Amino acid sequence: MRTFRLSLPLQVVAMNPHERNIAQTKKRKTAARTGSFSSGKYLGRQIAVLLRPLRRTYRTPHMPTATMKTTVSLLILALLAGSCARRTEKKTGDRSESPTETISETGTRTPQAETDPQPTCPERKTPADIRIIRDLLYDRHTLEDTYPYRDTSRRFQWEKIRERLFFLDSIQTEPARWAVLQNYKNRNGEAPVVRRFRRNAYNRVSDSLGVERYQSVPLYLPEDTLTAERYGRDGWPVKQLGREGGFVRVATVAFPGEWLVPERYVHPLSDTVFFGKAVMIDRTNQNIATLEKADTAWIVRSMNPATTGVHNPPYAHETPEGLFLIQEKKVKMIYHRDGSTEIGGFAPYASRFTNGGYIHGVPVNAPRTGMIEFSPTLGTVPRSHMCVRNATSHAKFVYNWAPAEASVVFVYD
C-alpha cells in the first residue's frame, strides 16, 4: 500500500512522544505570554500538531487533495487571527505600562497618563489669548500702563484693547472683499432721510441711533430699497457681498447685518488688504496707543497722551465711538474759524478716519505758522472739534507708520 503523508518543515527533536508533548505545551504557554505567535517556526509547529489526525486519516491512495488543501488553509488563517488578536492585546496592555510624555517649549518632558480617546473640538480662542508685546518705535512723551492724573490716576485699558484686537483678528479669518463707506462733506451726495429720524442737539437730522445724516451713508434693508433704514458712518469698513442693480450688498462689521448701499458710497479696497495696524483711542482716559501685528502677537509701538472731541453745539462734536479706517492724509489740514469761512489755522500731520475727524498734531492758530511740538492740555479733558490731538511728533509718527486704507482706528470709552 502506498502511503501519502503531508510534508511540513518541522524541526526534528530526539525525544519520546510524552516528552515531546510536554515541551510543546511549555512553548505554547511561553508564546501566549510573550505574544510571539508571529514566529514562523512556532506557527509551523502548531499546524503540525493540528494535522496529526489528518495524517492518519488520509493514508490512502484516494486522498482528497482539495479537501486537504482547504483544511490546511483554514487552520493557517485561524492561527494567524489568533496571533493578531494577541498582538493587539499586548499593545493595549503596553499603554498602561509606558505612559506618553508631553514636551514643553523648554524641552522638559512631563509624563502624561494615557486615557481613552475622546472627541476633540478645535481650540476656541478668547480675547485673553491675544499676546501683546511692548516694543516701542516712538518713545517721546510716553505714558506708563498706569499714570497719575491730578488727584487720581489713569491707565491704558488693555482688556478693552485685547477685545478689539481679538475682534479685528476674527473678522479677517475668512477671505473677504473689503470696502469702506465714504461721504466726506457729502461729496457723494446727501443721504436721503431715513424711516425713523429725529433732530439732534445740533438741529441736524439723525437716525434713531444718533448717527447724523450729514456726511453719512444710507443703509437699506434688502427687502426695501425705497426708504433707508439707518445711516452708516463715513469711514466704516464693510464686506462686499455682491451687486444688485445700482446697489452693493454689504455686511457691516460694526454691528451684524446685511444692507444694500448705493454704489457711489462704497469705495472698494485692495484685494490683498490686511488690517495689521491699529490705533486705539481711549476717550475716558484721554490716551492713544498704536499696535501692529507680527506673526501671532500684537506689538505696542507707542503709548501717548491725546485729546478727543468735546460735545459743544453748534460746532464742536465728540469723537464718535466705533471702528474706522484711515482714509486720507494731509501734511497740513486747514481749518476755519467757527461759523465763518475765514482760515483759522492748520493741524499738522493729519490722518482722517471719519467725517472731519483727524488724528493730528498740536493745532497752529493763524497768524502763527511754525509747528508746536506739545501742549499741556494733551491727555487732560476733551476739547477738540472731533479730532484727536497728539504731540506733533507723534502725529507725524502715525502719519508715516499707518498706511491709508489699510489701518484701522478704534475709539472707545
Kindly list the domain boundaries of the chain, sorted by start residue.
Answer: 17-87, 174-273, 277-412
Residue 191 banded pLDDT, cuts 50, 70, 90? very high
Q: How far apart are the first and last CA of the chain?
A: 109
Q: Is the pLDDT confidence value at 338 over 70? A: yes
| Phi, psi dihedrals of residue 397, rounded to the nearest 5° | -60, -50
Residue 152 CA to residue 324 CA, distance in Å, equals 31
Distance of alpha carbon 321 from alpha carbon 233, whole angstroms: 11
Nearest to 216 by CA among 169, 254, 177, 176: 254
Does the pLDDT of residue 105 top 60, yes or no?
no
In the predicted structure, residue 41 carries a pLDDT above the cut 80: no
Q: To the nearest whole number, what is the mean pLDDT of the chain?
A: 81
pLDDT at 48: 52
Question: pLDDT digit string (tens) for 216-234?
Answer: 999 999 999 999 999 999 9
Per the CB < 8 A criterion, the answer to whether 192 and 177 are in contact is no
Domain covering 174-273: architecture? Roll (2.30)
The Cα-based distances of 375 to 149, 160, 272, 307, 385 in angstroms read 15, 27, 39, 10, 16
Query: Is the pLDDT assigned to residue 394 strictly greater than 80?
Result: yes
Which 3 state secondary structure label does DSSP give 30? helix
Backbone angles phi, psi at 86, to 5 degrees: -70, -35
Q: How confident is the model at residue 127 (pLDDT cuts 50, 70, 90)?
A: very high
H/E stretch holding 409: strand 407-412
Q: Is the pTM of this model over 0.85?
A: no
User: Residue 44 is inside which H or E element, if any?
Assistant: helix 40-57
**More confident position, 25 or 106:** 25
pLDDT of residue 19: 55
- What is the pLDDT, as a whole number, of residue 88? 41
Take residue 127 and report the three cell numbers written for it.
480675547
Give domain 277-412's CATH architecture. Beta Barrel (2.40)
Task: Look up residue 248 and give its three cell numbers.
Answer: 452693493
Q: What is the pLDDT of residue 86?
A: 45
The confidence band for 365, taking pLDDT boundaries of 50, 70 and 90, is very high
